[in-house]
Amino acid sequence: MKKAEVVLIPLPAMGHIVAVMEIAKLLVRRDDRLYTTVLVMHPTLDPSTTRYNELHAASTLPDRMRVINLPRVESITSATKVSNWIAYLIEGHKPF
């Protein structure tokens, strides 16, 4: 049987992270061929997302689901609008 992997990258806000984690769980429970990976960015402004990720890492995830916590990027103080801040955060997580 051929396997497939879905990579999910939520916006670094509590509502997005929780929803994407639940979608990832749902996908692996519905189809034995699917694996999911959730890449989590850590914002410097919302510590609740970090706490949620710590609690979730300690709990049991489905076998075919993994969560990868990306390293923090340096604080972004020059972004005045939320949309700019998100763009800078995403840019900071690019590997090159």
Domain of residue 8 covers 4-93
Cα 72 from Cα 46, distance rounded (Å): 12
Q: Supply 50's token pair.
A: 């970090």
Q: Give the 3-state secondary structure of residue 54.
A: helix
Number of domains comprising the chain: 1
The predicted pLDDT at position 80 comes to: 61
The predicted pLDDT at position 49 comes to: 59
pTM given for the model: 0.74
Cα 21 from Cα 38, distance rounded (Å): 7
How many secondary structure helices (H) and strands (E) does the chain include?
3, 3
CATH number at residue 69: 3.40.50
Cα 87 from Cα 82, distance rounded (Å): 9
Q: Using 50 as the pLDDT threshold, list the residues of the chain that sit under it.
A: none
